[in-house]
Structure 1
């Protein structure tokens, strides 16, 4: 006959995961650059929108 050991854990027993990024971070899909929305992105105003470009590779990461 085999025996079974049961281990229980509680969410209270473990520490929450560390918060290393802000919820307002943007990521460049091409090169992986990351920064806060108000960070080092290059802003370019067009007639109808505002483009945020990656400072490393010039990819548009957000259009408002």
Structure 2
């Protein structure tokens, strides 16, 4: 007679999916440039702050 053994198994630990984009990156909607926050052009005057794409010059954020 053949016996069958049943084993309980827990969740398989797998590596998390690789990230293709950093969470600390900005994206230009015009030229699709992607770069770290500290690589963008920032201009400040009279309390206003403008962040521009270093690739094409598009204003990405204005406060």
Which TM-score tier does this pair reach, normalised by the shorter chain?
0.5 to 0.7
Give runs of ≥4 in structure 1 deviating > 6 Å. Answer: none
Deviation digits for residues 2-32 of structure 1, max 9, x if unmatched?
A: xxxxxxxxx7354321023221100000000
Larger radius of gyration: 2
How many corresponding residue pairs? Answer: 54
Unaligned runs of at least 5 residues, structure 2: 1-10
When normalised by structure 2's length, the TM-score is 0.66
When normalised by structure 1's length, the TM-score is 0.65
Unaligned runs of at least 5 residues, structure 1: 1-10
